[in-house]
Structure 1
Amino acid sequence: MGPAAVRAHDSRHRSAAPLEISGGQYSPVVWADIAGWNNDNHLDAFKAFRASCRAVTGRRRSAVSRKALGVSLREPCRAAKAANISDDAKAKAFFENRFRAVRISRLGETDGFVTGYYEPIIDGSRTRTDVYTVPVYRRPSNLFVRGFSQSAPSLPNNGPVYRKIGRRKLVPYYDRAEIEDGAIAGRGLEICWLKSQTDLLFTQIQGSARVRLEDGSTIRINYDSYNGYPYTAVGRILIERNIIPKEQMSMQRIRQWMTDNPDGARELRRQNRSYVFFREVKLSDNDEAIGAQGLPLTPGRSIAVDKTLHVYGTPFFIEGELPIQSEQAKTPFHRLMIAQDTGSAIVGPARADLYLGAGSEAGRVSGRLRHNMHFVMLVPNSLDPIARAKTMPLPETRPSAKIARLFPPNDRKPANAPQASAPSSLPADEQTGAASVPAAKAASSEITPLPPERSEVGSAHKPRHRTHYRRRWHRRAR
């Protein structure tokens, strides 16, 4: 953006609030310079955005609305709810007229990073049997998060989590190993039972599941809370141990290795001390999973983002190539996505988890997505992406020569050290003039010496010898 563009930008948006995203770098970009923007299905993206607007405009004092971006989304959301948009051209014009495009990435980097997630469909039972032995737990009543009531409908997915002992004592909650070993068993917390700990682990990673019961019915479970320990990626551990090469890493490879190595799988699972608790949700088989925004997700349009930096409902255009068709494929991906979910592993200003739907096929595709992509964030017109840069302080000016002389480099010789005489190229009369500088002026050019160090003052009283205290103690003992 050149000087003329900046002046034009200033004249149009003098009252716009500054956009601030910690740890991110961003620059405005024109729509024509966004690869694939004109080829996307903007109507599908508009429908997902308008669904998010129900939550954006419906909450008066939500935590996210206190962010400048959360407040600014209300205006385009009100316009979306009032608009009658039924074709792609109008949807595209809506985004271009209500938002400004800002290319965003982590500070010092050029690309963002995407992964994929889905809703597994797994077999289970309402009761424990010889086949189904692994419980799916709901939130325990003794799980406590500061600032939230124990009956709060939702809890944060980061930060410390405690368990209450008595009325006041708080200690860190049980980790995965303790829970697997039965720390909360027998308390009536079981929603259902699964076949293996591997099934449970991947359900916890995805955050939701459809559990097919023995009678043919299905129950839906969704993320509710966690035990307070940071998520550790088991795939990264397998790469670091040279068990699975990085270029071959996928969810399917992890699952296969765990099946073939049950003892190793147990140890590997417990490296991830994080443990997720679920709640049962009343959804039909036709409904998609519920995201953290409290709305059904849209396959291919919903993404999970870092909720500490971003606001649900924000549109992101993600561009690049992904292995959609096969593991080796480089399918062009240019799509406008809507932030509607989050995850503990989704950290950073240009980090997204793409929701791909439910079932095994969605699982195969999502399991192989680990790719760098370009991120363009759509910012409402009421926010100014360059205003913050204009108020950043400039570096301090260099110190004057007078101040610099008080702090000489270490290799400078002391002022009273003898110096070797060198022939001068000045005329004789100028040499004499230089030597006859007044004493006061010459003194001002010398280095001011530091005062001598003060001598240590000895203690007036010596401490009593330890044996003296021992003798007194023995006297008391008698």
Structure 2
Amino acid sequence: MYALSLGFVALLAACISRVERPVTAEKALVKLQSSEFPDFSDDMSYESLRAAINQSLAYLGRLNPSVPLRFGPDLFTAAHLIDSTKAFSGLIGRSLSPEELREAIENSFWVYKSIGRNRDPNVLFTGYYEPILQGSLKESTEYPYPIYRRPDDWVSVDLRLFNPKYGSDRIVGRHVDRTVIPYFSREDIDSRGQLDEKDCELLWVSDQMDLFFLQIQGSGQVILEDGAVLHVNYDCNNGHAYRSIGKLLIDEGKISWEEMSAQRIRSYLKSHPHEIERIFNYNESYVFFRLVDDGPLGAIEVPLTPGRSVATDLDLFPEGALAFIQTEKPVTSVDGTIESWEGFSRFVLNQDTGGAINGPGRVDLFWGNGQYARVAAGHMKHGGTLYFLVQKEVKK
């Protein structure tokens, strides 16, 4: 999905002003002694875990078997990670008790823990979900807001090709008069109509606010007039830095940090429609989409599994790897009102990333779609812990 999570992390976590010191992948995880392992209790059915495992295995199977994947100070090949993931899948198929599972992990797996945020072992957890929009293949008064595909003049330049000093830096822009200039901002696109004559409209939707939040989530479903469902997924963005409208509203005194949530932002905007254009344009980043057959897709190009897929900083943590999280989730009433928060833990797979997911102290949990997913993603901003597991090398 390439969550900015794109999840609601972009609206909520970006409200946090504390800046992390840069951390290398070698330092992002520390290897634990068995006495430091968590209890590995899981609050979900293993059926969903197997589904997520199978998606990671599909990704890992596409890699060169010798490709190295880093777990903090250690490197393992893609082939080893496949064997490791299959071995763990075998464990959960044996109907072990929690104690037996922990013992089996102690005997056969290394466990690594994220160093967290600013040397605080706590990791900030936020959530994202798959929104559902009403749309059409044609523009009309009922469906006036376009979802754009990647424009034909969009270019991405890998600066490493020009000089190794740029590392992994890229610039995004458009090709004009034999040079590359910055791509249009959100204000250029939505308020000034810079894409109006470029034939980039993929679909049209009925609600401006839903479209903005679709860009935050990075993917979604669009239900057409005849009931057909299309999946739209993140393709690329305009290269402008993401700026949180949640932080803007906090800084302007419109919403307090304590009450900040996606639902509270929606409520404020509905009550102040004259401010929508200014507030949305504050975030200059703009997402372009593509249609996919089965979505939403994570950054490793596999379908995400609700409750089992997470987005992390893939520059620091291994793609597709098995992980374990401990944090909190909401307890809701029938109408979606949050009554309380309770602790939970579960195994997850590292299958996504996002523009606002930076550093070892950030995790975005994919909740799926529907009312509970929307509420959980909109309000989740809780501390917790993140672990990664990999099978010990088998001596031959």
In the superposition, the TM-score normalised over structure 1's length comes to 0.67
Number of corresponding residues: 348
Residues in 2 aligned to 1:25 and 1:61: alpha-carbon distance in whole angstroms: 23
Residues in 2 aligned to 1:368 and 1:176: alpha-carbon distance in whole angstroms: 26
Within 5 Å, which residues of 2 pair with 1:65-84?
65-69=67-71, 71-81=76-86
Residues in 2 aligned to 1:48 and 1:110: alpha-carbon distance in whole angstroms: 26
Name whichever of 47-56 and 194-203 sits farther off. Answer: 47-56
Residues in 2 aligned to 1:347 and 1:41: alpha-carbon distance in whole angstroms: 27
2:25 partner letter: I
Q: Does the C-alpha gap of structure 1 residues 130 and 292 become closer, same or farther in structure 2, counting only changes over 3 Å? A: same
Match among 311, 314, 326 for residue 307 of structure 1: 314
Structure 2 partner of 1:182:
193
Q: Does the C-alpha gap of structure 1 residues 280 and 96 become closer, same or farther in structure 2, counting only changes over 3 Å? A: farther
Structure 2 partner of 1:297:
304
Deviation of 1:322 after TM superposition, in Å, equals 2.8
Structure 2 partner of 1:114:
125
2:377 partner letter: S
Structure 2 partner of 1:358:
369
Within 5 Å, which residues of 2 pair with 1:201-350?
201-283=212-294, 288-325=295-332, 327-350=338-361
- Contact 2:60-2:78 within 8 A present in 1 as well: yes
Residues in 2 aligned to 1:231 and 1:32: alpha-carbon distance in whole angstroms: 37
Q: Does the C-alpha gap of structure 1 residues 179 and 23 become closer, same or farther in structure 2, counting only changes over 3 Å? A: farther
Residues in 2 aligned to 1:338 and 1:93: alpha-carbon distance in whole angstroms: 21
Structure 1 partner of 2:183:
173
Show structure 1 runs of 4+ deviating over 6 A.
Answer: 90-94
1:340 partner letter: Q
Residues in 2 aligned to 1:60 and 1:136: alpha-carbon distance in whole angstroms: 36
1:101 partner letter: V
Instruction: Please tell me whether residue 37 in structure 1 is matched to residue 47 in structure 2.
Output: no
- Contact 1:119-1:357 within 8 A present in 2 as well: yes
1:37 partner letter: F
Unaligned runs of 5+ in 1: 1-18, 149-156, 383-478
- Contact 2:81-2:321 within 8 A present in 1 as well: no
Residues in 1 aligned to 2:382 and 2:85: alpha-carbon distance in whole angstroms: 32
* Secondary structure of residue in 2 paired with 1:364: helix
In the superposition, the TM-score normalised over structure 2's length comes to 0.80
Tell me the alpha carbon deviations over residues 223-267 of structure 1, each in whole angstroms, 9 at most, x when there is no partner. Answer: 000010121111111111111111111111111211221221111
Tell me the alpha carbon deviations over residues 355-407 of structure 1, each in whole angstroms, 9 at most, x when there is no partner. Answer: 0111233111210101111222224535xxxxxxxxxxxxxxxxxxxxxxxxx
Instruction: Please tell me whether residue 21 in structure 1 is matched to residue 25 in structure 2.
Output: yes
1:307 partner letter: L
Residues in 2 aligned to 1:279 and 1:205: alpha-carbon distance in whole angstroms: 15
Residues in 1 aligned to 2:189 and 2:309: alpha-carbon distance in whole angstroms: 32
* Secondary structure of residue in 1 paired with 2:368: strand
Residues in 2 aligned to 1:139 and 1:199: alpha-carbon distance in whole angstroms: 20
2:371 partner letter: S
Structure 2 partner of 1:51:
55
Q: Does the C-alpha gap of structure 1 residues 381 and 358 become closer, same or farther in structure 2, counting only changes over 3 Å? A: same
Deviation of 1:50 after TM superposition, in Å, equals 3.6
Q: Does the C-alpha gap of structure 1 residues 176 and 93 become closer, same or farther in structure 2, counting only changes over 3 Å? A: farther
Tell me the alpha carbon deviations over residues 416-470 of structure 1, each in whole angstroms, 9 at most, x when there is no partner. Answer: xxxxxxxxxxxxxxxxxxxxxxxxxxxxxxxxxxxxxxxxxxxxxxxxxxxxxxx
Deviation of 1:72 after TM superposition, in Å, equals 3.4
With a CA cutoff of 8 Å and minimum separation of 6, indicate the structure with the bigger relative contact order: 2
Structure 1 partner of 2:163:
none
Residues in 1 aligned to 2:276 and 2:30: alpha-carbon distance in whole angstroms: 42
Unaligned runs of 5+ in 2: 1-22, 160-167
2:328 partner letter: E
Residues in 1 aligned to 2:230 and 2:57: alpha-carbon distance in whole angstroms: 28
Q: Does the C-alpha gap of structure 1 residues 178 and 91 become closer, same or farther in structure 2, counting only changes over 3 Å? A: farther
Deviation of 1:22 after TM superposition, in Å, equals 5.7
